[in-house]
Structure 1
Amino acid sequence: MLKKLAFSGSSSKATFVVIFILSLIFVGLTNSAVFAFFTGGKALQGRNLIIQIGFSIGLFLAYSILILLLFRRLIDWLLTHVYALFSIFAVLPLFSHAYIGSFIRFAADDFSSATLAVNKGVLSATLDWYLNWSGRFSASFLDSIMGSLPPSAMKFETGLTLLLLFIGLFSIVSQVLSYTSKYTKICTSIFLPAVILTSTFAIAPDLPQSLYWGQGMRSLIIPLVFLSFLVSGLIYFQTRHTESISPLWLVLFGFSAFFAGGFGETYVVIQTSLFGVLFIFTFFHEPAGFRKTLVLWSGVGLLCSLAAMVVIIAAPGNHIRQSYFPPSPDPVSLLAIAFRSFIDFVGIIFLSPENLVAMFSVLLSSGLVGLFLSHENTAAQFFVIKGNPFFCDFRHSLSTIFLSGLLLIFVCFPPAAYGMSAAPPLRTQILPGFLLTCTTAILSTCGGIFFGYRVSNFVEKSLKNRWPVFIALFFFIGFSLTMTRDVLSVAPDYRFFASRFDRADQMIRNARQNGKTSVSIPEVHNPFGLSDFGAGTTLWLDGAVDSYYGIHVIINKNMK
């Protein structure tokens, strides 16, 4: 099993190597700060070379002794459970995304939702959006809820959304691997979702607007949370409740599918296509016992997704919004625009070195997971889940997953072609990016399982030799730290935006409480690439800001 392959018995040599490396890292990061602390702020650089070397050696010994006394048992455990190390480093970039998300505040359309919510209430504001602008009823509902709260409440939104999405994906993986050992199941269920999400965010062409901007995140990322729980629930009831189906659970499942579909035109097409493909495959596949349960769940999901699509299309506000775009193209032109957009998306992914690195990390990491799982006799359970037609044999599995993934990625583009006669906005391409990374991860994991069984002796010897795993861990840690560094590189800009916004927000509220009719504040530039209020070019935004605060806001460019 994986736990045994991950180095049975503690290795004192490996432990001391890890302590040596950690001590060197800590010395490199902190020697100047520690020297300044003990010398009253004096700089270590520029001093006598013997002093620099002697201090660094002393600090190295101090760190080594401290780590040896306090963390040796932890290091021993991690070295004998090396898969846990992969999982720990896999989630680091997600924590950094949550940290950047803590600096989110209102920007652009957020003020429009907020002013309607505070003046009309959440439900009336949602109806106003539906009648006068967009059929995205679920997104408008959440936008109105967040608009009714203070702007500072948004600091928790990104972190909470990422946590829920991670839990949903964790649940899916853990249920698929229900036959494996507890240790393997937990580590894999942490590692794979973390790699998928990290790579998805790495290849997203406009991450600030799709993950960090309030309205963008609510219409693009939150529906993926619902999708992950819908798929998790479908797997749960299919594999554990095949005898009787409670109508209450069906109603809850259907309502969740309907509400999730209301987050946007692109997402509802993805969800409808997913349940449609699942329904068709299960309806025409034997055995009947399998069809009896899964076809019902997929059918409910399909009908409720179609209902959400109808509600979105029937929105009166669509006609108002459509007036800002060219007329919808004919079917042939629509497919041509969608196909060109699809090709451009593929080009963005595979012609960019950074995106290729992210996709290669998914491919390699998932393949290694498959190799690990092949040693726990997982293949039979993975490919045959109570007669699941998607996993009846290896070739059929891969071809079905590949074609289904390709279809789901392509259907992301026709909605924009129909509504805008153009490619979808860059921020929405995080949806096909997520589907691409998921498809890649599933295919690579299946391939790793299959390949692992073919060369089981070679793989087992390599794992027991421990150094190949250490090398793989070394490169993965480098990838994880690089991703984390890249994410945190924008932290100063986002932190500055949040501080400027909070200061301006407090100045406006204080002026209104003091009975003033106008207030001057310094400029507040958002880091999302969206319009700033008070710029003089976006009158609708200036009006929304004045209406939200109930006072005329004036931008003073000379105010610091």
Structure 2
Amino acid sequence: MQKKVVLGAALVAVLAALACFAYLSTFTRMHADDYCIAADVTHLDPAAYFLKWYTHWTGRFSYIIFTGLLTALGAGFAAWLPTLTLGVWLVGLSWALAPLARWVKWDHPRLCAWIAAGLILLVLYAATPNLFQSAFWEIGLINYSFPLVGFTWAGGVLVRLGLGQIQPKPAAAWVGGLSLLSGGFTEAFSSVQVAFYVLLLVGAAVWGRGRARRALLSAAWAGLLGGGLALGIILASPGNAVRRGALPEPPGLIRLVTFSIRNAAYIMGKYFLWTPGWAALSVGVPLAAGWAFGAGHAQGARGGRLSWRLPWVQAAGVMLTAAFGLMVAACAPVVYSLNAYPDDRVIFLPLFFWIAALTASSAWVGNSLRQMRFLSRWSVHPHSAQAAAGLALAGLMLAAGVTAWRTAQAAPEYRQYAQDWDRRDAELRALSQSGVEEITVVGLPSRFGVADLQESPDHWVNRCMAEYYRIPRLRGR
């Protein structure tokens, strides 16, 4: 089987699986906090809206701005935002990986980059504990998916900068601006971003050489400045005092560090124990692909034993260790504010870095094992690459089939909820013109931990919906 044909089939399988998630996301509507934001956007001017949320609730300035802009577009746009976000993310991630695939001399590097990007997102969407809150629901999507999208595009600039493909000054400006913007969505990502650029500074200083070293150092400082400024703006918000009043006292430094490490280890363990199939996919497919499509057929070290001293073993270890450090950084703000394990929607952030590092290191290991002739005669056998390519393709096709089956099982409930929501929305818009002081309508079920209309008109969701629809009092039944 020709390699390009296998890669084309693999790309189709990955895109088909991602299309299943995109299809389900089109049944997303407005929920809970969406009404609060939309009501204020409707009734307040932009400056008053921003000041209200920044001074009375949260310092997440990018979150406030983007939720205001996007929520104002209504429920129709909320149904398409997840698909648009996934598309921009997929393009950005493949764009970031393409220079690396060319640098390591993989066969058909552009195709490989698209497949790797799709695989990372497929596994992330399939393995995350609460996909709806992290990637479908508009408020959660903006909080937890948007910063990762921005980080991915900044990563593509960093890769090209390290390979000497772009000029340092505009690259540093791009990285600094994206870091500032991305850091304003949620504290968990702000912390991760600062940790990442600190690690990049250390890595560039230790392993960098020549122009690439200087260029990466300048971009890392710009990213650290942008990320640190974003975190500072969040922490300076007067709204933090309002939220702080409802939260427990922050833990001490030792508790902060140890509990964050424990939480990161728990997230990593749950990934392997609770979603073993997807964990195996994130290791097995890139491992086989590295063997089949990497530069392992080129001349390299023959024979030898596996050892930590081998550069590629050290590189894989560094990638996984750095990813675990970023997971700890993502858990730290939650431990500080709540002294607890992160909510399921927050886990989306650390899980992305772990899956990306696991995928990249597995591909690197597969390529390096073949290059060092790990399996002796089998590594140079003409059919070994074909067998590895076939295994990788089979894994992706199986994953696409499982995703399609799960989508078919879930679609009726998603579709019915969207239809019920649309009917209630039309009813409430009609009743808002009636002049009745109190209106009672059917409450829809709370989904994926997101609350809906309650019996009491004083419940916060009821109040936000009443303000959004301009109804004095709204009650659910």
Deviation at 1:470, TM superposition (A): 4.2
Match of 2:27 in 1: 103
| Contact map agreement 1:213 1:528 (CA 8 A) in 2 | no
With over 3 angstroms needed to count, the CA separation of the structure-2 counterparts of 1:375 and 1:235, relative to structure 1, is closer
Match of 1:492 in 2: 412
| TM-score (structure 2 length as normaliser) | 0.90
| Contact map agreement 1:271 1:305 (CA 8 A) in 2 | yes
Aligned residue for 2:330, secondary structure, equals coil
Give 1 or 2 for the bigger CA radius of gyration: 1
Counterpart check, 1:536 vs 2:456: yes
Counterpart check, 1:7 vs 2:17: no
With over 3 angstroms needed to count, the CA separation of the structure-2 counterparts of 1:140 and 1:489, relative to structure 1, is farther
With over 3 angstroms needed to count, the CA separation of the structure-2 counterparts of 1:194 and 1:535, relative to structure 1, is farther
Match of 2:209 in 1: 287
Deviation at 1:176, TM superposition (A): 0.9
| Contact map agreement 2:176 2:222 (CA 8 A) in 1 | yes
| Contact map agreement 1:493 1:527 (CA 8 A) in 2 | no
Aligned residue for 1:413, secondary structure, equals helix
Match of 1:371 in 2: 291
| TM-score (structure 1 length as normaliser) | 0.77
With over 3 angstroms needed to count, the CA separation of the structure-2 counterparts of 1:377 and 1:277, relative to structure 1, is farther
- Uncovered stretches (5+) of structure 1, i.e. residues with no partner: 1-5, 9-79, 381-391
Pick the aligned partner of 2:368 from 439, 443, 450.
450
**Structure 2 CA distance for aligned equivalents of residues 467 and 232 of structure 1:** 32
Pick the aligned partner of 1:409 from 320, 327, 330.
327
Counterpart check, 1:235 vs 2:166: no
| Contact map agreement 1:521 1:553 (CA 8 A) in 2 | no
Deviation at 1:167, TM superposition (A): 0.9
Counterpart check, 1:395 vs 2:325: no
Percent identity, aligned pairs only, is 21
Match of 1:421 in 2: 339
**Structure 1 CA distance for aligned equivalents of residues 353 and 291 of structure 2:** 23
Alignment of 1:287-326 (within 5 A): 287-326=209-248
- Which is further off, 103-112 or 480-489? 480-489
Deviation at 1:269, TM superposition (A): 0.8
Deviation at 1:489, TM superposition (A): 2.3
Deviation at 1:433, TM superposition (A): 1.2
**Structure 2 CA distance for aligned equivalents of residues 132 and 413 of structure 1:** 25
How many positions carry a matched residue from both structures? 466
| Contact map agreement 2:71 2:78 (CA 8 A) in 1 | no
RMSD: 2.6
**Structure 1 CA distance for aligned equivalents of residues 7 and 41 of structure 2:** 48
Pick the aligned partner of 1:545 from 465, 468, 473.
465
| Contact map agreement 2:288 2:388 (CA 8 A) in 1 | no
**Structure 1 CA distance for aligned equivalents of residues 270 and 38 of structure 2:** 35
Q: Give the letter for the 2:335 counterpart.
A: A
Q: Give the letter for the 2:138 counterpart.
A: G
| Contact map agreement 1:107 1:526 (CA 8 A) in 2 | no
| Contact map agreement 1:92 1:480 (CA 8 A) in 2 | yes
| Contact map agreement 1:413 1:424 (CA 8 A) in 2 | yes
Q: Deviations over 1:183-240 (max 9, x none)?
A: 7223211211111111112221122211222111111111110010000012223324
**Structure 1 CA distance for aligned equivalents of residues 145 and 348 of structure 2:** 8
Deviation at 1:475, TM superposition (A): 4.3
Aligned residue for 1:426, secondary structure, equals coil
Deviation at 1:472, TM superposition (A): 4.9
Deviation at 1:556, TM superposition (A): 6.0
Match of 2:306 in 1: none
Alignment of 1:63-212 (within 5 A): 81-179=5-103, 184-212=108-136
With over 3 angstroms needed to count, the CA separation of the structure-2 counterparts of 1:458 and 1:377, relative to structure 1, is closer
**Structure 2 CA distance for aligned equivalents of residues 179 and 474 of structure 1:** 27
Counterpart check, 1:255 vs 2:167: no
Q: Give the letter for the 2:342 counterpart.
A: P
Q: Give the letter for the 1:434 counterpart.
A: F
With over 3 angstroms needed to count, the CA separation of the structure-2 counterparts of 1:376 and 1:450, relative to structure 1, is closer
**Structure 2 CA distance for aligned equivalents of residues 397 and 180 of structure 1:** 14
With over 3 angstroms needed to count, the CA separation of the structure-2 counterparts of 1:457 and 1:179, relative to structure 1, is farther
Q: Deviations over 1:299-353 (max 9, x none)?
A: 100111111111111111111101111111111222233233223323322332x
Aligned residue for 1:428, secondary structure, equals coil
Q: Give the letter for the 1:480 counterpart.
A: A
With over 3 angstroms needed to count, the CA separation of the structure-2 counterparts of 1:537 and 1:376, relative to structure 1, is farther
| Contact map agreement 1:534 1:554 (CA 8 A) in 2 | no
**Structure 2 CA distance for aligned equivalents of residues 378 and 177 of structure 1:** 15
| Contact map agreement 2:67 2:142 (CA 8 A) in 1 | yes
| Contact map agreement 1:371 1:448 (CA 8 A) in 2 | yes
Aligned residue for 1:530, secondary structure, equals coil
Q: Give the letter for the 2:89 counterpart.
A: L
**Structure 2 CA distance for aligned equivalents of residues 270 and 253 of structure 1:** 15
**Structure 2 CA distance for aligned equivalents of residues 140 and 378 of structure 1:** 52
Q: Deviations over 1:382-426 (max 9, x none)?
A: xxxxxxxxxx93233223212211211121111111011111111
Counterpart check, 1:334 vs 2:329: no
Q: Give the letter for the 2:2 counterpart.
A: F
Match of 1:18 in 2: none
With over 3 angstroms needed to count, the CA separation of the structure-2 counterparts of 1:344 and 1:285, relative to structure 1, is closer
**Structure 1 CA distance for aligned equivalents of residues 127 and 176 of structure 2:** 32
Match of 1:350 in 2: 272
Q: Give the letter for the 2:409 counterpart.
A: S
Match of 2:307 in 1: none
